[in-house]
Chain A
Amino acid sequence: MILTIAGNELRRMFYSPLAWAILAVVLFILALLFLVFIENFLTQVQPRFAGMDGAPGVTDSVVAPLLLWAGVLMLGIMPLITMRLFSEEKARGTLPLLLSSPVSMTQIVLGKYLGVLGFVAVMLGLIVLMPLSIAPATSLDWGKFASGLLGLVLLLASFAAAGLYLSTLSAQPAVAAVSSFGLLIFLVILYVSGSSPGSASELFVYLSHFGHFLSFLEGLFNSADLAYYLLFIATFLTLAVRRLDNERLQR
């Protein structure tokens, strides 16, 4: 049942021009950045560090920044993907179809969430092709690559969960998008302010989802980071289920 909902969600996403526009824009920008990073590596990094032990390699100076930028871009893009999940259904009055079907609220939320993750997977699949395209010509650090990719998957999954919850709050997709964007940026600002030299705060860095992402990019797989993302996702999905259940009970 969850898969039926997820499949329908994914299919409808690709029926709308929005999904294609998002894919096109994100890939275009990342491709440009990818070229810039390679150029930079060839002209700046490689000549300077050639022959040094432990010098930053291709993975550090091309792949990691690419994944970081993908994460940064998605701060703005993910709200556009998640805004339609529940807001649009509410605005168009299509939610009763799901609510009067023999599926639980948890199944509805998980189905929609998986649908978004499906879209994210398609996008990541295309993004990953870029670093892979240089793999035959150089030696990538596969461990670091995999860790960075996992980090990006978790980061985007956490964006999606937050966006999904916020889209249950409003019947207007634009409001849902703006509030998700606000929340995601807020978490980034927590990181920035927490790690600034004057007022460093361990707590802020810990709370921010970006802090955890960066250690993945450095190739550091820390189960605490993994747990952070899983808790983050579980919290927002639970909130979404609770919110929708409350709507039925609204007083």
Chain B
Amino acid sequence: MDNELLIQTEGLTRHYGPHVAVAGLELSLAKGEVLGLLGPNGAGKSSTMQMLTGNLAPSAGRILIDGIDLIDEPLKAKRLIGYLPEQPPVHRDLTVDEYLRFAARLHGLPAREVKTAVERAKTRCGLGDVGGRLIGNLSKGYQQRVGIAQAIVHAPMVVVLDEPTVGLDPIQIREIRALIRELGQEHGVILSTHILPEVQAVCDRVQIINRGRTVFADTLAGLADRHAAPVLMAGLAHAPAIDELRGIEGVSAVEPLPEGRFRITHAEEAGFAERLAALAAERGWGLCELTPERVTLEQIFTDLVYRERVEAAA
């Protein structure tokens, strides 16, 4: 993966009246990368995507698309983006071909290239045999594909897809995911979703957003690494000094969590948990919880989002 950044945002912020939808979001996308934006409902995913595609003006911050400022030179920057909003922006009274031709012309393709571009987009989205049909008569899944075809017809550098698999059946979902992976090879793709396995299936990198902020960002490869290191979650009623825990043989890191809980990373060792329990009993730490941690995206997601909610309530 090279380091050419297709999208870069600085302090992206958006208010709706007193409500802050996006608060100082930093986001970047490299070429050949699929970035998953994850977040609960109302986290600011859609607002972020609307800002990235020029549908919504940010209250503060900068957006660079391949080095071009979206706010200073919107026409130049928008040429490089393809966008599928939550609801596919299809004209129901046009046929697929007519609609895609219009979308291609609208994105500034010269007339002689339109035909091949439309054919290419149709083939990629599996729309080959519905070109002459009215979009309004197509099923939701096909309309969604027309929406994606519209976003890629002008071969943009960046494709922004807002919940591309919503409302599709499982087979269609698989096809769309395969398409997204394929797109990710030559374009950069940002997609938002709240389906966790989807991120694991198609993304190279994941960024979890909650209440307008990035609460977690890592590559999926990095996630797998976390998975590799054995981690114990320990709850201690009478916790000792953290250095005492760090001093235990085989422990490589200790991270204190609220309410007397600790996240202990240790070396690969079969009987470590047993040894830790014995030690806790011996020294009277009041062990009340000891669970091996399996780092899955789902866990990270629920932990982060839940913790934020608790903090917000406090």
Q: Which residues of A contact B (CB under 8 A)?
A: 1, 4-5, 8, 11-12, 15-16, 92-104, 248-251
Contact = CB atoms under 8 A, between A and B. Distances in A.
B75 interface: yes
B53, B94, B106 — which one has the most chain A CB atoms within 10 A of its CB?
B106
Nearest to A3: B105
Interface in B242-274: none
Given A94-B89, A94-B90, A102-B107, 16 more contacts: A4-B102, A5-B106, A12-B93, A96-B85, A97-B106, A97-B150, A99-B53, A99-B54, A99-B55, A100-B81, A101-B78, A101-B106, A102-B76, A102-B108, A103-B106, A104-B75
A93 B78 contact: no
A200 B300 CA distance: 76
A101 B55 contact: no
Contacts of B59: 251
B238 interface: no
B87 interface: yes
B89 A95 contact: yes
Given A100-B54, A102-B108, A93 B87 contact: yes
A94 B94 CA distance: 13
Contacts of A100: 53-55, 78, 81, 83
B17 interface: yes
B91 interface: yes
B106 A248 contact: no
Contacts of B55: 96, 99-100, 248
Contacts, number: 69
Contact of B93 (A15, A104, A250): A15
B94 A96 contact: no
A15 B75 contact: no
Interface in B70-110: 74-76, 78-79, 81, 83, 85-94, 98, 102-103, 105-108
26 contacts: A4-B102, A11-B94, A12-B91, A16-B93, A93-B85, A93-B86, A94-B89, A97-B89, A97-B103, A99-B53, A99-B54, A99-B55, A100-B54, A100-B55, A100-B78, A100-B81, A101-B103, A102-B74, A102-B76, A103-B75, A103-B106, A248-B55, A250-B16, A251-B15, A251-B16, A251-B59
A102 B93 contact: no
Contacts of B78: 100-102
Interface in B84-142: 85-94, 98, 102-103, 105-108
Contacts of A97: 89, 103, 106, 150
